[in-house]
Structure formats: structure tokens, C-alpha cells
Amino acid sequence: MSNTNYDILIISTGPAGIFTALNLVRSGSSARIAIVEKGLPIERRSCPKEKVGHCIGCNPCRITTGFSGAGAFSDGKLSLSYEMGGDLPQLIGENLAQDTINAVDRIYLEFGADEHVEGLEATEAVKEIRRRAIKAGLQLVDCPIRHLGTEKAQEIYRRIQTYLADAGVELLFESECRDLVIEGGVCRGALVRDRGGDEKRILAERTVVTTGRRGADWLERLCSEHGIEHVPGPVDVGVRVELRNEVMERVNNALYESKLIGYPDPFRNKVRTFCQNPGGFVSQENYDNGLAVVNGHSYKERKSPNTNLAILCSHNFREPFDQPIQYAQRIGELANMLGAGHILVQRFGDILDGKRTWPKELVRANVRPTLPDCVAGDITSALSYRTMTSIIAFMQAVDQAIPGFAAPETLLYAPELKLYSNRVKVSEKFATSMEGLYCLGDSSGWTRGLMMASVMGFLMGAYLAES
């Protein structure tokens, strides 16, 4: 088995990994840097579904893997407030988090991000939305958003990819990290299988794992196998809602993305909206072992007549159960089984009536699905009673703030899962309990979303450049 040596090895080219390398380069570091990526370079990441109309099961999925991770095919929203995007401010402090957001935002602008920021205007409209939300027992968290757009995000990350390659960063695509190389309790690198099936050891002084939500389960297994300190966190299970733009028009115009949070009776689980896409499209992502999950995105130019957003119910488990990611995966597998491997969709009115949705009913309503190969059915047969009861109560509360939100024809897609529940114990400079190993981004459990993962990478690059 061959060995290759570097100073710094980064596992995955998601935003955390990209910004680690980017800030190292911009800091003038002379370190030899390699990034291992299971997927493809961004120029080869076209999804065949755009042409054939249905998912063909690419392995790995081109939407969730490859340069820039799922971020390249997402809506590309940068949340510009430390209050959004996970718990990183608890680790590094709110001031540093906000200052770094501002620095990262400037870099995105350098590489071509739109200068317009959503959510800074229409203050009276925001106040009215907030008043309605308060009356409904909900909290509105408004946050300035820089919207890259799905197609523009790919252009921006293509420029970053070229910049890193020109700077001498070795980008090892179609190379899957199989395991860490541990010697004497110290991480010395990783065991990697290349596109030809050959395995080699890539050795490095420091190894940075940035595998994103897709790699959270893989990282959790590594932590357990190698004794890396970690704790289970909450897991989010929910649905993707799709409704007409006319219903969401006031919110879309005032905020672009509304963040609503509630704790509905009878269970008082935290339920929240997430990833709102005005004029957007519902999409499918494939995880390992064929798990299909629903997501959403929107383009800068191409628009649909619908808005979609996630509604997520957080579940916190206690002893003796310590496998929340596997719990969410089982729910996803059940939903996939009911949909014959496709994403399930059901009308809200049918849920309340206790009946499944039939395909012919989807073409009779104002809301037409933007996911072409979704399967009409019964999502309540897959999601738990606790989850569904919480989502229904939450949607009815949102309807008080946004009339028409819980209309009978509103569509609910399942499963929407966020697999970042494993939280790795790290220092303020992101070092794990194992010497030589660092963990960043959504897979670490500290961030949620594009901006905060980029922030964590930016800081990691600065810390490595200093040492």
C-alpha cells in the first residue's frame, strides 16, 4: 500500500473544507495541502434528472457530493447573522462569530456573490408579520440573507475551485476516505480508496474532517471506533412544504426567508421553518445506502409559481438510546419504502381527513408539485405520531400569521431529515480529543448551513496558518 505525505489533509470539499484551504492559501501558508473528495469537480456535477425527468441513482449522488458539497446545488443562502446556523457562537463567542461572518461574506462577494441583501427593507411589513406570529404563539427570527441562487452558487464555487488548484492545493476527486490512520493515539492521516479501487495511505501532520451532513453518520462511527469524544444531539425529522407564491408573497418580499419557531402542544417539541425558497423547486437528494430525502432550492433567474420550505421537528433522546441519526434514517427508509424509492407527497387536507393522496388529486389543485417524480401517498404512515402531531399543530399556528399556509391543497413531502445530531467535542480551535485531528462544519454538530460551515473553515485556516 502506497503512502503520500502532506502537511495538511482535508476530508471533503464542502464549505468548511473549502474555506480551510482558502484561508490557508490567502494567509501565505507554504503548507502542502490535499483535499480528498468522494465526488466530482464542480464542472462535472450535473444531475441527470434535469434531462431524464427522474432520479437514476448516481453513486455517489451528484447533488450532495462533489466540490462545494450540497451547497453547490442548494438555494445558496448566506445567513448574515450569528443567531442563525447552529451553536458555533457558543463555542467561539458571538463577537468573533459575527466578525468572521462579515469576513467570509466579503470573500463570497470577491468571487461573484450578488451584492443585494434580502431582509433589510420593508420594516413595517416585518413588524406586521411579527405581530401575527406573536399572536399565534410563534417566534419570528429575521436575518439578513445574501441569496446566491443555485446556478450562481455553482459559478462562484467553480471560481474558488480554480483558485485553489492554481494555488497548488491538490484536489483528489473520486477518492473516498475509508478510515483514519491512527498510530500511538495520534491521527496521522487517512486511508483512501481512489477511483480505480486502489487503497493508499495519505499521511499528514494534521487532518481536518469536514464531511457535512451527508458524512455525519460516517463520522459518528469513526468517533465510536477510535474513541474520539462525542455526544449525541437532537435530530430533526420533518417535511418539505410547498404552496403558491401568492400565499407567501408578503413574507417573501419582506424577508425572503422567514424563520418561525414554535413549541406546540401537546409534546412541546421545538418545531421550526428552515430553508425557504421563493419561486423555488422541490428536489431529491440521495444519501448512502440509497436513502432518498427531500430538499429544496431556487435559482436567481428561473422561477416556479410555488414557494417551498422545510418544517422540522427536533427530537432529543435520553439514556439508554444514543443513536439519533440511525433513528432518523429508519424513518427515511420507511418513507422510501412506501414511495417505492421516491419522495412521498400528501395534501395537508388529506392528512386532516385521515386519507392518502391519489395522483389524480394533485392535478386538480392550484398547487402543482415541482418535484416531477414524487409519489402521492400517505406520509403519516412513515412519520411518528409525535412528529406529525407537532407538525400539524405548528402549521395551523403558522396559518394564523400567514393566512392560507395550512390550506387543504398545501403539499407536504417526506422525508426531510437533518443528520447532524452527532456533536464532536472540540476545543475553541476545533481540535478533537485525538491529537492531530480536527472536525468542522455540519458533520461536527456545531454548524447548520452554508455560512457557519464556511466561518468554521475560515477560522480553521487561520489557526493552522498560525501554528
Distance between start and end Cα atoms, the chain: 31
* Residue 421: pLDDT band with limits 50, 70, 90: low
Residue 130's Cβ-count burial label (10 Å; 0-12, 13-18, 19+) is middle
Predicted confidence (pLDDT) per residue in 281-318, tens digit: 999 998 877 899 999 998 888 999 999 999 999 999 88
DSSP letters for 422-443: EEE---TT-B-SSBTEEE-SGG
DSSP letters for 242-307: EEEHHHHHHHHHHHSS-EEEE--TTT---EEEEEEETT-EEEEEE-GGG-EEEEEE--SS---SEE
pLDDT value at residue 1: 65
pLDDT value at residue 461: 98
Predicted confidence (pLDDT) per residue in 383-409, tens digit: 999 999 999 999 999 999 999 999 999
Predicted confidence (pLDDT) per residue in 124-165, tens digit: 999 999 999 999 999 999 889 999 887 889 999 999 999 999
Alpha-carbon torsion (298, 291, 227, 193), positive or negative: negative
Q: How far apart are CA 10 and CA 216, in angstroms?
A: 16
Predicted confidence (pLDDT) per residue in 262-289, tens digit: 999 999 999 999 999 999 999 999 887 7
* Residue 414: pLDDT band with limits 50, 70, 90: very high
The pLDDT of 46-67, averaged and rounded, is 81
In this structure, are residues 437 and 226 in contact, taking their beta carbons and an 8 Å threshold? no
Q: What angle do CA 234, 236, 239 make, to 5 degrees?
A: 170
* Residue 234: pLDDT band with limits 50, 70, 90: confident
pLDDT value at residue 75: 72
Predicted confidence (pLDDT) per residue in 16-35, tens digit: 999 999 999 999 999 999 99
Numbered ranges of CATH 3.50.50.60 in the chain: 3-113+149-231+422-466
Provide the b/e sequence for 170-209 (b: ≥16 CB within 10 Å).
Answer: bbbbbbbbebbbbeeeebbbbebbeeeeeeebbbbbbbbb
* pTM listed for this prediction: 0.89
What is the distance, to the nearest Å, from the Cα of residue 19 to the centroid of all Cα atoms in its chain? Answer: 16
Q: How far apart are CA 257 and CA 309, in angstroms?
A: 9
- Cβ-based neighbours of 416, under 8 Å, separated by 6 or more: 237, 238, 239, 240, 293, 294, 295, 310, 311, 312
* R_g of the chain, CA atoms, integer Å: 21
The three grid cell numbers given for residue 296, joined into one nine-digit string: 429544496
pLDDT value at residue 42: 92
Would the pLDDT of 250 be above 90? Answer: yes
The three grid cell numbers given for residue 267, joined into one nine-digit string: 409534546
Would the pLDDT of 466 be above 90? Answer: yes
Q: Between 3.50.50.60, 3.10.20.600, 3.40.50.970, 2.40.50.140, what CATH number should domain 3-113+149-231+422-466 receive?
A: 3.50.50.60
Question: Mean pLDDT over all residues of the chain?
Answer: 93
pLDDT value at residue 72: 63
Q: How far apart are CA 77 and CA 81, in angstroms?
A: 12
Q: Which residue, 271, 243, 205, is CA-closest to 5?
A: 205
